[in-house]
Structure 1
Amino acid sequence: MDKIILIDGNSIANRAFYAMPPLTNSSGLHTNAVYGFTTMLLKLIEEEKPTHMLVAFDAGKITFRHAEYKEYKGGRAKTPPELSEQFPLMKQLLEGCGIAQFEMSGYEADDIIGTLTRLADEAGKQTLVVTGDKDMLQLASDHVTIALTRKGVTEIEAYNPAQIKEKYGLTPGQIVDLKGLMGDASDNIPGVPGVGEKTALKLLHQYQTVEEVIAHVHELKGKLKENIESHVQDAKMSKELATIFRDMPLEKEWDDMKFNGLQTETAVPVFRKLEFKSLLERLDLTAAQTDESREPESPLQLVVLDETNVGSLIERLAEVDVVHVESAGENPHHAVLIGIALRTSDTSYYVPFELLASEAGAPLREWFADENIPKRGYDLHKADIVLHWHGILLQGAAFDVHLAAYLLDPTESDQSLSALTSKYGLPSLQSDEAVFGKGAKFKVPDLEIVSEHLGRKAAAIQQVIAKQQEDLEKYEMHRLYYELELPLSKVLADMEKQGISVNAEGLQRLGQEFEAQIATLVQDIYELAGTEFNINSPKQLGEILFDKLGLPVVKKTKTGYSTDAEVLEKLEPYHEIVRKILHYRQIAKLQSTYVEGLLKEVRPETGKVHTYYRQTIAATGRLSSQFPNLQNIPIRLEEGRKIRQVFVPSEPGWHILAADYSQIELRVLAHISQDEKLKEAFVHNMDIHTKTAMDVFGVSESDVDSNMRRQAKAVNFGIVYGISDYGLSQNLNITRKEAAKFIEQYFAVFQGVRRFMDDIVKQARTDGFVRTLLERRRYLPEINASNYNLRSFAERTAMNTPIQGTAADIIKLAMVQMDERLRAEKLRSRMLLQVHDELVFEVPEEELETMSRIVPEVMAGALQLDVPLQADVSYGSNWYEAK
């Protein structure tokens, strides 16, 4: 029997966007709405097993309803670009999954679904409509069930006519009468003033329809009678506007909506582009796709070594071309070493770790440790750390396939070796997931399978290197790779192995301070509330704030009142309890994430935390820190800054020295854009935010107040990050109109910046990519897309990538040059951390003066710009004091 699912695309996308936390893929595309939408689709497919599916979309802003009432939907804010850019992605995803979609000019998704449910009714077909819009309840019938989304988008509440009767005491047809009387603010449908849902239901229980209410208005009294008499036409028009049109000239046949299950062949590339890894795993779609253009697989010459035949490799060590270290676990500081493969021109050698660590493996260990012997492999940075914790030194990295893959295409999410062999048309290589399994299913297979897999990986690395070397030359990335990224990889590994000492006792004391502070805040909150309740329960907190204390309701969810951070920040001026709750949440987060979290990460044998810097994650070229993330310690809050007190030198009498770039991205913007006003500010060492406020607001320096400077700062950084008027309005808590005006004023003043942004977009349209000053590329395939939203996202990325990417390149250059300088001057000082624009060192007393001079000198001279680079340096007995 046929089972049809019709989905209200715009409604579900909107709900998913606001219900899901902000998500972006590595190329910066917003994906939270698509992710929420996709999880809902998968759940429906799994639970309902439909035979037919269709997602209906609105085709534009103007519909036939605007001819009747120009103000229809007039109160709605413009869709944020962060959402609108996701609609094309949603449509690509549907196409990939084999799910029909439809839109028609002049009509809304409601009308498409209304017409199809009428046809389904007539044909006796069971249909489920999925929407977030209660108006759709009017379509319910014996054959049509309406599923309204609850708690975001994955939970739904189904309504048939009996359930509508039970909840509202109405028939489905009376839903339009309900809207006729009470109106709908979201669609700007007026209804009758003063008539809410309660009054409207009471009237309809008595008189059944809008027309009957009007006919019996003389039986009513007071203000209600007066309002209805004065708004008869509004009530009739509102009912008409709320009535879904069910007679569209559809050319769709049921066969056009046939759903034959998820089309994995076309779905996988879209899921990969969106980086929905967890969904790929859930659907078991992680295996690589076959490619007929690949070279045929050749037989593998493999030698599995033990103490009896290790000599056969030792004799050929001078010919070894590739080293591959296989480990299990994402964090290399705690990874399990599985095995090692070495490769000559024609043979792969499998080296069990036990052999490498044994007496017989001594010549191999010497070879690994010799920095004059070039090593080529895949993710040598990780290999270096894993071997370090197993007592083996790896030096001499000369080529890293993983690093080259990232540089050549930083927005490609799958840079696995099996994906790279597919990309270059080389013989297929089994994915690691296929050999080892993943997650709870991970298992190291027997020696025969492991040795062959690693042997093939070593051979694949050899073949991929040849292709990548050609590409690096072709795309002018040779210097960026060999002079920056590859040496930086070694610098990072050394920093990570060194680690940073943590005063565990100090951290525990801080934890006790936070616990005491939390206890005090809890008591204060209880006193202000007049009762005890679970502060962590949104439901109980909502009841206290809105029912008991009567604060204004900012936002509602399906389950009640929203009490998220955005809501609480808006409510802060209304009651002291809100400030206390916000403070409580901040301290509780510090306690759980940074006190308890950091304590778990301290390595017992070193007393240090050893972070892991990912060089191949961010499309802009920025480094990412993990296990633990030391770039994310909140420092806007004094208690957050205190966390830095526990990071101390590892040797007595030493100091922590920190140096950070001043306004590096804005200085890069001044250089790239050649804007005279920006350059002037930096050349004369002015406060850039004050200078921006002076120019944008047209006031003298003495007239710039703290609010003006704050707004100017938000606009400055907003411009760098390609912020929209929506994003700026959220940051400054102002209207989108005001935010747009700010941006307009900024560009009127800084015309060089405007010119640069126009020119870079034109250049990107021609080239298909943009570059940093050091030739780092970022590809923008959507820059010439016909779809406005995809195109405008690519344009914003084109504008900000040269700025952010160059800033990232500069601090990386500074790190490489600083490492060289420390060695050249034979200093004992050590570089420990990189946190965005800041470098952190531990320094002996006698080198403080030297380091205070050379660190800012090296950082300022890392790259020559038309405006001076500036690094501010400070030091203390811990990281907190050094800032």
Structure 2
Amino acid sequence: MSKFVLIDGHSILNRAFYGVPIFTNSEGLHTNAVFGFLNIMFKIIDSKQPDYMAVAFDVHQPTFRHEMFKDYKGTRKPMMEELREQVPVIKELLQKMNITTVELPGYEADDVIGTLSKKGEKAGMEVDVISGDRDLLQLASDHITICIPKTKKGQTTVEEYNTEGVRKLYKVTPTEFIDVKALMGDSSDNIPGVPGIGEKGATAIISQFGSIENAYDHADEISNTRNRNALLNNYEMAQMSKTLATINIQSPVEVTPEQCKLEDIYTEDALEMIKRLEFKSMIQRFGSVTSTNDCEGGFKYINNPFDADPIFEQAKNAENVGIFIYRNKDNFGVSLCFNNGNVYYIGKEGFVTEDYIIEKVRDLVNAKAKLTILNIKENNDILGNDDVESIFDISIAAYLLNPLQNTYDYDDIAREYLGMNVPAFDEIFPKTKKSETPSDEIPENILKYACYNAYVAYKAKDALTEKLKETEMLDIYNNVEIPLTYALYDMEQAGIMVAGDKLKEYGERLKTGIDALEKDIYAEAGHEFNINSPKQLGEILFGEMQLPGGKKTKTGYSTSASVLEKLEPDYPFVSKILEYRQLAKLKSTYADGLAVYIGKDNRIHGKFNQTITATGRISSTEPNLQNIPVRMPLGREIRKVFIPKEGCVFIDADYSQIELRILAHMSDDKNLIDAYNHSKDIHAATASLVFHVPLEEVTKEQRSNAKAVNFGIVYGISSFGLSNDLSISRKEAEQYIKDYFISYPGIKNYLDNSVKKAKEKGYSVTMFGRRRPIPELTSGNFMQRQFGERVAMNSPIQGSAADIMKIAMINVAKELKEKDLKSKIVLQVHDELLIEAYENEVEQVKDILKRNMEQAAHLNVPLDVDVQVGNNWDEAH
């Protein structure tokens, strides 16, 4: 029997929109609903294996199946703009996938689905209807199954209902379900129902009488007085609700089920659109479908030195050479593209050895050939140079131009800056994750992958350079981001030493503490349970122990940190739970987690990334060394396991209040500038102004509160946030902020102007010209717009701080090399630099650090740097 799948387009799109975090592609188009819709659709296709498929949509400006009731249906909540803009996108994509879409003016999608499902059943098909709308349960039969997607713990499951399923759930038949819906109403679908009759009452009435009309005729037999009176007093409303709830199964749909034949959905046109939408995880579904590009005809494989030597010589004098180095444990090669656009892949084979290729690449670098590459840092071990003028990095340029993207691969850049759809890694090596060695690396695939990388690098350089000029970011590209790649490379190579025995000892101490807490918690609870299970913990705290403040959700009581922290002062048991969590986190993430990354040289060589954060900050991964906890004593102890090698010490230099100092400079607020220039305690000075007391009379609490306001203002803190931070009323918090802005009027003007300019331009700008797009400012969602305004206030400050640190880091690394010192930067954490310094170089390094960090930018206030020396990271900090 043929399978016919009908999808309720708007219902599933709406569900996907709210189930997938909002995001955009590089063109600024919101795509989360389309992404979620496709995931659900592909899951349905995989599991149902349909022969026929159609997607029904409501008409954009719908008329109503019952015109007299349009006041009810017409009050539906309007669609958010971020969702509305995705409707034509999914329709276009479905068309490109040869999937039938149906919409009928004057009728809703429910009517279209109802009519087609019954036609399909009549034609002898098994029909599956996919929708989040339970209205459609009335269509269920022995051959029509209503499938309702549900998300549980991040996984999409599907509940299925046929005649028996509806009867089991509601104790009525699918047809009788219309009457149940009419009595109980549905606010989401603007069906008013009968006041006073809920789902339980509606089910009881219809299961007994079969219909609203029969129940009305036998009202004296309704045992529940409230339900009886409600029906008698609102019978007309009940009948109207029934009319609203009834799906039209005889609407004039011209499409027949047979015309919805599902054939080849993985088309080339659809693939190109999937790429434009940047749904990389879906590309491999399209299998062998690839975009045809004329450039592939120019891809040439070279495997002997006689042909390779002239190519390398020509490249030395070319105006631009796109280069890509392909390497893994089995294969090695370099692709070059220049002059006429031909691309040559010179692969390891016979006399073309790995050493030969590396030597030729370094000859190009030494000859100052104009190379363009994707990711200098990852290839610097072969490039072996820090000449910023001769090598152009397209990934860094693309990041600067749009720091909100997730990836900056060659196919992303081709699509964004060349208007080309080229096969991505996932297409060329569909069986392999990007972090792995391709299992299907046949020569043709290697040739294609390597050549596309070089080709895109060659072609994109001019477009990216022009864009950098247009956006006035060529200077920050040349003088900050590119020099930084070499400083980061050197830092990764240096690594940081870890005392493995101390780390192990630290982990054992944590385990002892965890075990002791576990016993205490079990003893107080009266039995053992999974402390790490929020559900079980919630039942213990708010069910068995009856603690106040329990908020029950669908999955149980909330046991988030914010909930437990409110209970902690009055309940020692809760304090132990929080301490247990802290110790468990420290052990798993640091004591155990860091040990995995220690190399044979007893050092951790982490990765430092410059194309991840939207603000420009450097991030750390594998492992994240920038997230070492410092607020609690046991957390700070982790820093003690990081030690310098023999004959060295650590020198740590940390900017003091850099973001507040930048705020003083950028706002040009006279009071804040005066406080810094006269070396006042900035938090005490703020307290003096805000609380109207002499500086010498400021209390410890007033200073602490002023400190919270000072740092909160930088991040656009609200009165609600400040009231939570200080445990004061919202009214008091509002007054604090109001008094703060009276004390520092320049800051208020600056923050307001920052938001205004960002709304006008669509982005914020740092002191050094770095842009941060803020699409949230034009969102139809109030919370998103509020977030955008906070970003507009904070990004110029945080981004400027990131730029200053980068400049300082570049200059420190440069001077250490110029003076032929052996000391090296081993770590960068936000506003802090850590150097492993040889004992005979300590004074020189301290001077280099302090001077270069303080002179990295010229502000209206001094940049203050604190420099400390120690035998481990904790001592030096």
User: Which deviations, in whole Å up to 9, do the C-alpha atoms of 1:476-533 show, x marking residues without a partner?
Assistant: 4332222212211111110110011111112112221222233233323323332223
The 1:394–1:584 alpha-carbon spacing in structure 2 relative to 1, beyond 3 Å, is same
Residue matched to 1:592: 588
**Aligned partners of 1:520, 1:399: CA distance in 2, in Å?**
57
Is 1:7 matched up with 2:1?
no
The 1:796–1:145 alpha-carbon spacing in structure 2 relative to 1, beyond 3 Å, is farther
**Aligned partners of 1:671, 1:250: CA distance in 2, in Å?**
68
**Aligned partners of 1:422, 1:522: CA distance in 2, in Å?**
54
1:129-168 matches, within 5 Å, as 129-132=129-132, 137=137, 140-141=140-141, 144-150=144-150, 151=152, 152=154, 154-168=156-170
The 1:521–1:318 alpha-carbon spacing in structure 2 relative to 1, beyond 3 Å, is same
Structure 1 residue 849: Cα displacement? 5.0
| Structure 1 SS opposite 2:56 | strand
**Aligned partners of 1:65, 1:732: CA distance in 2, in Å?**
52
**Aligned partners of 2:246, 2:736: CA distance in 1, in Å?**
42
Residue matched to 1:401: 393
Residue matched to 1:651: 646
Aligned CA RMSD, in angstroms, stands at 5.8
Is 1:838 matched up with 2:837?
no
Q: 1:858 aligns with which of 852, 855, 862?
A: 852
1:42 corresponds to which letter in structure 2? F
Structure 1 residue 383: Cα displacement? 1.0
Structure 1 residue 382: Cα displacement? 0.6
**Aligned partners of 1:363, 1:472: CA distance in 2, in Å?**
32
1:524 corresponds to which letter in structure 2? D
Using the TM superposition, name which of 729-738 and 171-180 deviates more: 729-738
Residue matched to 2:46: 46
| Structure 1 SS opposite 2:612 | coil
**Aligned partners of 2:737, 2:535: CA distance in 1, in Å?**
39
**Aligned partners of 1:95, 1:739: CA distance in 2, in Å?**
50
2:55 corresponds to which letter in structure 1? M
Residue matched to 1:280: 283
Mapped contact 1:693–1:704 kept (Cα < 8 A): no
| Structure 1 SS opposite 2:814 | helix
Give 5+ residue unaligned stretches, structure 2: none
The 1:244–1:568 alpha-carbon spacing in structure 2 relative to 1, beyond 3 Å, is farther
Residue matched to 2:769: 775
2:553 corresponds to which letter in structure 1? K
Is 1:338 matched up with 2:332?
yes
| Structure 1 SS opposite 2:588 | helix
Q: 2:112 aligns with which of 116, 131, 153?
A: 116
Higher RCO, 1 vs 2 (CA within 8 Å, ≥6 residues apart): 1
User: Which deviations, in whole Å up to 9, do the C-alpha atoms of 1:691-714 show, x marking residues without a partner?
Assistant: 889999999975976996697478
Mapped contact 1:444–1:450 kept (Cα < 8 A): no
**Aligned partners of 1:97, 1:742: CA distance in 2, in Å?**
54
| Structure 2 SS opposite 1:818 | helix
Mapped contact 1:97–1:263 kept (Cα < 8 A): no
The 1:594–1:290 alpha-carbon spacing in structure 2 relative to 1, beyond 3 Å, is farther
| Structure 2 SS opposite 1:648 | coil
**Aligned partners of 1:711, 1:238: CA distance in 2, in Å?**
57
**Aligned partners of 1:407, 1:718: CA distance in 2, in Å?**
22
User: Which deviations, in whole Å up to 9, do the C-alpha atoms of 1:72-119 show, x marking residues without a partner?
Assistant: 999xxx99xxx97466457634543447889999x9xxx935433443
Residue matched to 2:409: 416
Is 1:565 matched up with 2:566?
no
User: Which deviations, in whole Å up to 9, do the C-alpha atoms of 1:437-474 show, x marking residues without a partner?
Assistant: 53378147567875787577556644544554455445
| Structure 1 SS opposite 2:713 | helix
Q: 1:719 aligns with which of 693, 716, 740?
A: 716
Mapped contact 1:728–1:739 kept (Cα < 8 A): yes
**Aligned partners of 1:163, 1:734: CA distance in 2, in Å?**
53
Is 1:524 matched up with 2:527?
no
**Aligned partners of 1:449, 1:225: CA distance in 2, in Å?**
76
Residue matched to 1:752: 750
**Aligned partners of 2:780, 2:200: CA distance in 1, in Å?**
47
The 1:424–1:66 alpha-carbon spacing in structure 2 relative to 1, beyond 3 Å, is closer
2:873 corresponds to which letter in structure 1? W
1:642 corresponds to which letter in structure 2? E
Is 1:662 matched up with 2:661?
no
Q: 1:380 aligns with which of 355, 376, 379?
A: 376
**Aligned partners of 2:725, 2:15: CA distance in 1, in Å?**
21
Q: 1:350 aligns with which of 338, 346, 354?
A: 346
User: Which deviations, in whole Å up to 9, do the C-alpha atoms of 1:18-41 show, x marking residues without a partner?
Assistant: 6x6897878999977665444223
User: Which deviations, in whole Å up to 9, do the C-alpha atoms of 1:726-752 show, x marking residues without a partner?
Assistant: 999999999999999999999897133
1:326 corresponds to which letter in structure 2? I
| Structure 1 SS opposite 2:873 | coil
Structure 1 residue 814: Cα displacement? 1.5
Give 5+ residue unaligned stretches, structure 1: 330-334
**Aligned partners of 1:731, 1:104: CA distance in 2, in Å?**
54
1:814 corresponds to which letter in structure 2? A
**Aligned partners of 1:251, 1:745: CA distance in 2, in Å?**
67
Mapped contact 2:30–2:82 kept (Cα < 8 A): yes
Is 1:881 matched up with 2:837?
no
Structure 1 residue 248: Cα displacement? 12
Mapped contact 1:36–1:153 kept (Cα < 8 A): no
Residue matched to 2:245: 244
Residue matched to 2:89: 92
The 1:788–1:52 alpha-carbon spacing in structure 2 relative to 1, beyond 3 Å, is farther
Structure 1 residue 791: Cα displacement? 8.9
Mapped contact 1:174–1:208 kept (Cα < 8 A): yes
1:6 corresponds to which letter in structure 2? I
Mapped contact 1:92–1:270 kept (Cα < 8 A): no
2:716 corresponds to which letter in structure 1? I
**Aligned partners of 2:137, 2:684: CA distance in 1, in Å?**
55
Structure 1 residue 761: Cα displacement? 1.9
Mapped contact 1:323–1:340 kept (Cα < 8 A): no
The 1:405–1:67 alpha-carbon spacing in structure 2 relative to 1, beyond 3 Å, is closer
Mapped contact 1:856–1:871 kept (Cα < 8 A): yes
| TM value normalised by structure 1 | 0.75
The 1:220–1:784 alpha-carbon spacing in structure 2 relative to 1, beyond 3 Å, is closer
**Aligned partners of 2:730, 2:234: CA distance in 1, in Å?**
30
**Aligned partners of 1:370, 1:218: CA distance in 2, in Å?**
99
Mapped contact 2:649–2:836 kept (Cα < 8 A): yes
**Aligned partners of 1:729, 1:43: CA distance in 2, in Å?**
46
Is 1:506 matched up with 2:502?
yes
Using the TM superposition, name which of 226-235 and 265-274 deviates more: 226-235
The 1:312–1:237 alpha-carbon spacing in structure 2 relative to 1, beyond 3 Å, is same
| Structure 2 SS opposite 1:775 | coil
| Structure 1 SS opposite 2:332 | strand
**Aligned partners of 1:669, 1:489: CA distance in 2, in Å?**
28
**Aligned partners of 1:596, 1:859: CA distance in 2, in Å?**
34
The 1:184–1:104 alpha-carbon spacing in structure 2 relative to 1, beyond 3 Å, is same
Using the TM superposition, name which of 850-859 and 794-803 deviates more: 794-803
The 1:547–1:382 alpha-carbon spacing in structure 2 relative to 1, beyond 3 Å, is same
**Aligned partners of 1:94, 1:370: CA distance in 2, in Å?**
54
Residue matched to 1:332: none
| Structure 2 SS opposite 1:719 | coil
| TM value normalised by structure 2 | 0.75
1:41 corresponds to which letter in structure 2? M
Structure 1 residue 843: Cα displacement? 2.9
**Aligned partners of 2:86, 2:731: CA distance in 1, in Å?**
27
Mapped contact 1:5–1:128 kept (Cα < 8 A): yes
**Aligned partners of 1:162, 1:841: CA distance in 2, in Å?**
71
> What is the aligned-residue identity percentage?
31
**Aligned partners of 1:248, 1:695: CA distance in 2, in Å?**
72
Mapped contact 2:335–2:346 kept (Cα < 8 A): yes
